[in-house]
Amino acid sequence: MEEIETEAETVYTVYSDVTDNGMDSHTMYITSHIDSPSKFTHIVNLLLNCETGDIVTLILCTEGGDLYSALLLMDALEKTKAVTTARIIGEVASAGTLVALACDSVEATPFSNFMIHNYSTTIQGKGGEIKSRLEFEHKNISEIFYKCYSNFLSEIEISKVLYGVDMYLDVDSITSRFAKVIEARTASTLERVGELEEASRKSRLEVLEEELVAIQNEILEIVS
């Protein structure tokens, strides 16, 4: 068993082991405030270097925190070859919910819950700078929410959150809503497979047509 820690004050621990079938198994803990992106480089590096068949369990019990740290983790979770599971314990709020939903599966333990809300920020500067920054952040956050909470929240619910309504979801709600996320992901994957198969079929037809034209040209040359 190997324990990896950051040197920073806030520690996000990773325990690594080997399963009976020889694949790596990693348990990652985010059980405090989600700090700045630099604190997660060891977790991101581990995720990006996992092999097919590796298992990653992400233990989450957090009030949330830095949105850009969440986006960094979400990108790594999307790209990793490992099978990922988010295990929700207690309350997982704000940015923590985005990280959880980026995993392949979500396990909500008894009495756990999600809290989803709009972002909080502070902006300083001249009036025009504040206005520009605020307009950009609202547009950017809206795009992130509509994409990342898609199929988990309805568009009406996302709109309410962006307006300022806090949402609290219990175990049953988390489980049933994530099932819809899985259904949507499966449908998207099947659609993509169908598109690739169609593209492959068209590609084979194009090759055959090119070969047929070449044969016809050779015949014409012989006849002439």
Where exactly are the structural domains of the chain? 2-188
Q: Which residue has the higher pLDDT, 1 or 169?
A: 169
pLDDT per residue as tens digits for the range 195-204 = 666 666 666 7
The pLDDT value recorded for residue 1 is: 35
Give the gyration radius of the chain's Cα atoms: 24
Look up the CATH superfamily of 2-188: 2-enoyl-CoA Hydratase; Chain A, domain 1 (3.90.226.10)
Residue 89 pLDDT exceeds 70: yes
Candidates 188, 64, 198, 174; CA nearest to 118 is 64
3-state secondary structure of 94: coil
Mean pLDDT, residues 141-165: 95
- Strand partners for 28: 14, 58
The pLDDT value recorded for residue 11 is: 66
Mean pLDDT, residues 157-173: 96
> Of 57-66, 73-82, 171-180, 215-224, where does mean pLDDT reach its minimum?
215-224
pLDDT per residue as tens digits for the range 8-20 = 456 688 888 887 7
Mean pLDDT, residues 151-180: 96
The pLDDT value recorded for residue 5 is: 43
The pLDDT value recorded for residue 155 is: 95
Distance CA 162, CA 188 (A): 26
pTM > 0.85: no
pLDDT per residue as tens digits for the range 126-137 = 888 888 988 898
Q: Other CB atoms closer than 10 Å to residue 87's CB: what's the count?
A: 20
Strand 83-88 relative to strand 55-60: parallel, antiparallel, unpaired?
A: parallel
Distance CA 95, CA 111 (A): 20
The pLDDT value recorded for residue 115 is: 98
Residue 6 pLDDT exceeds 50: no
Mean pLDDT, residues 38-67: 95
Percent of the chain at pLDDT exceeding 90: 62
